[in-house]
Structure 1
């Protein structure tokens, strides 16, 4: 246990006596500091016992009040006054006792033959003994945790031993956030509460860590793994000295455990890769494809293929993605990782977590026997993904917006300005552009445009006629309509933010 003022008072050789402030005897003593400075606050770090002979202390009411307030400001835990014959203070001033009692600082007196050096030595001897006991407890706990990790209980035994040793709730999840085990807390609830912190830590891989104050306590999140991120350790209220010193031990043991599990899963990953290879055969029947998916525990009427470029580490990335997607259907082909997922699976979220910044193509949703077709389209999208710097899905592959986004921003802006600049100049408020956009999106419907904008039909017609006069594009010519629509879309895709702010509602929504 830490050294307290009560413990210091109980050391027989010091012969200290309590004069006032008994309510503070439980305060922890970290150090002892002898000073005759009557303004000691700025010289204290807190948790010290201050010792003085009162050489410069004014024993009157004002002087004692000021001195005690200084001790309080400096967060001193106690005051020891040396008193007796031949010392500046034959006894403790009554005013000093009253003010020590007022603020709750223990006031002790020391006899003249007890040196402050002996008190300081006693404090540091007691502190050293406590640190030695802490180290012994840590070594015992470390052996206990290591033994639990090596036992047949594995992860569960390790987490239970942690809680028993340090009384800190613990939860472990894999890299996808799925619960692997917990002790001393509700693991599922903790994972839900800690999700934002886990997401932040995941962005930094094995170099990250995070903390947060949750309703259930102080949270610490540490990444787990040796060379790649395998999971996360979540600790609650691990603030005790023993817990803080043992966190690194727990992280190491859990990292080894998750790496062991990863290696044990390798045969399963090979089997799933073989299943995927059969699923991608072009001559597979519908029944065969469904049977393969059922064997992988994937129950979906439609699936989509995904491919990710992974130059340099495709095997590691494939293992991460296999863990993250239901069914674990992933394989390595050259420098690519190929997957099959259910149509409603949040592929984008998984790619953000495990393949950030990597080119990826997401094929269309197809029935299982047509997975090879979805894969071919996914591969075809990789070049667009490289250009755009983000995953590209088949649903946007035929979009003019995607094609425009592949062009130079300067070229797009020049084209849009060439067509729309007369409208910008004549209508700074953007009413003409907004009316034009809605009119084009409703396929030239006067009634629907007027309804959506809350305008009279004649107002809409007048505005569209004005657009035609200003731009030289006629409303009844398909080519002119296409020019206007492409210009609006090009501006939405390629215009810098400042220009978007400039034109406001004139821009169609991006998507």
Structure 2
């Protein structure tokens, strides 16, 4: 237990006394150390929590000077001030100006009698602190033993329950996407939504850091879990004392070991899902019922799915840098790295990425394709297969042996978020949403987008693969800007030109829907019509002419930097220009 000022006053051997009626909350102050100083300004030499003792050799007696002295001591962080009394010392009782100044400042003022030397008070303080530290060490050892015993049980919850019972600090383990795996109590003390930003921040750094904050009056702390890859997150709710704080590294190690064991136990299931995906893709035209039943058997129950292809390693065979799931950038291959070593490194990176993606895709099917020179087949932890199917991606520049990760996921999964977390910076293609029996086609389109993704530096979606999309992504910016200026310059020069441009862009992106444009802009539909009529008069274009309409759409998109404007719910609208003329 911490040493409080009241504990020292209760010791009969010290015979300390208060000089005024000190409030209980001041007597509850923690004493961290004891020191002696007769300086007139000792505050700058204090660290906080000290019992400052003085004989008052230079103590001023003027009220204003006494107040300045006491204020300096209080601002230095002292827990209290003690005045030594006795024969041959400056004071035989506490002087009234000092007592008044201490009471005004809220600083406890004690007296030390003549028969008690300052060294006795100092030894008492440090003996009490040493006893406190020994007790904290014993509590830490006892807690660690309880956690180790719980680790021999089954799962995460016994360890978390023991931790909470021993320390009073809430604990929960979540997967890298922030989904709850286990908690030490029935309900986490802090709703996970309040800790979401903190969890995301730590997950984004992999194993390289922790973070803390406060939410709802509770202190929150997040620690990463895992050995070489991020396997989960530990959320602590509450303020651990010194004993509990010393056990946190042990708790992190035990939980990390359990998550690694769980990862190894899941290997057969990952192999089964990989084999199931190979079986699904082996048939050119699987029956709808059969394809749906195969996906339902692994929990993928959405009516529509999509294919995803990720290039797992660079062309030189270096390991992928999975910032969100890994522990940092991997070292490059040696300068004289052989083909076998390069292939092994690339396939290892693919396996790790596949395991991460399998964890992040509920019900999803994941496999690694390619990776072994000569095309021989050998099983791996992630279910790697080397029978490259029809429509497999062109792996240039990595060559035919460069592995890719293929996945089939539900249409409701935020695949962009998953790729940003577990495959940052890696070329990725995202196929269109299809029925389960047509997922082979979706994967083929996803594979074809890898080259676009390499050029753009971000995942490419099938809906963004039109010629206009490629022009916006890959075209020369000066040429594109000149094109936009040629089409839209009449509006730039007109009165209220910005309103006309915004109305034109919104109308084009809503597919020529007058009511939708009106709602988006917050104006009447007649206002929309009048603005567009004026814009067409200025540009000399016609909205019912397909060529004019496409020119206007492309020009407005270039002005927006190639990205659609936010829709009513804050989501981008479709990148495809409206294909049919409007109804006037």
Alignment of 1:490-509 (within 5 A): 490-493=558-561
Partner of 1:94: 96
- Maintained 8 Å contact 1:432/1:467: no
Q: SS where residue 202 of structure 2 aligns?
A: helix
- Whether the aligned pair in 2 keeps the contact of 1:360 and 1:391 (CA below 8 Å) is yes
* Structure 1 position 337, deviation (Å): 1.2
Find the partner of 2:56 among 54, 57, 76.
54
Determine the structure 1 residue equivalent to 2:202.
201
What runs of 5+ residues in structure 2 fail to find an aligned partner?
Answer: 314-318, 320-348, 371-402, 519-523, 566-571, 576-584
Change over 3 Å in CA distance of 1:13–1:196 after alignment to 2: same
Quote the residue 2:400 is aligned against: none
| TM-score, normalised via structure 2 length | 0.76
TM-superposition CA deviations, 1:25-76 (whole Å, max 9, x none): 3221111121112333333222111111111113454444443333333332
Unaligned residue ranges in structure 1 (runs of 5+): 501-507
Post-superposition CA distance 1:460-510 (Å, at most 9, x none): 656534423xxxx78897656544543333333459xxxx9xxxxxxx988
CA displacement, residues 97-122 of structure 1 (integer Å, 9 cap, x when unaligned) = 34434544333222334332332233
Query: Deviation at 1:399?
Result: 6.1
Give the match for residue 326 of structure 1: 362
Matching of residue 487 in structure 1 with residue 547 in structure 2: no
Change in CA separation of 1:437 and 1:42 when aligned onto 2, cut-off 3 Å = closer
Distance in 2 (CA, whole Å) between partners of 1:58 and 1:442 is 81
In structure 2, relative to structure 1, the CA distance for the partners of 1:176 and 1:436 (3 Å cut) is closer
Post-superposition Cα deviations, 1:304-324, rounded to whole Å, max 9, x if no partner, equal 111112113111111111111
CA distance in 1, matches of 2:511, 2:154: 67
2:108 is aligned with 1:106: yes
How many residues are treated as equivalent by the alignment?
495
Equivalent residue in structure 2 for 1:386, among 439, 444, 454: 454
Give distance in 2, aligned partners of 1:247 and 1:422.
66
In 1, Cα distance between the equivalents of 2:285 and 2:516? 49
Q: Deviations along 1:139-165, whole A, 9 cap, x unmatched?
A: 22112211211x224412111110111
- The 3-state SS of whatever aligns with 1:212 is strand
Distance in 2, Cα, partners of 1:481 & 1:320: 45
> Structure 2 matches for 1:38-437, cutoff 5 A?
38-59=40-61, 61-149=63-151, 151-184=152-185, 186-187=187-188, 190-215=191-216, 217-281=218-282, 282-311=284-313, 312=319, 313-334=349-370, 335-398=403-466, 400-421=468-489, 424-425=492-493, 429-430=497-498, 433=501
Q: RMSD value over aligned CA atoms?
A: 3.3
Instruction: Tell me: CA distance 1:187–1:356, structure 2 relative to 1, closer, same or farther (3 Å).
Output: farther
Change in CA separation of 1:62 and 1:418 when aligned onto 2, cut-off 3 Å: closer
Separation in 1, partners of 2:504, 2:194: 47
Flag the 1:110–1:474 CA change in 2: closer, same or farther, 3 A. closer
Which structure shows the bigger proportion of residues in helix conformation?
1
Q: What is the TM-score of this pair, normalised by structure 1?
A: 0.86
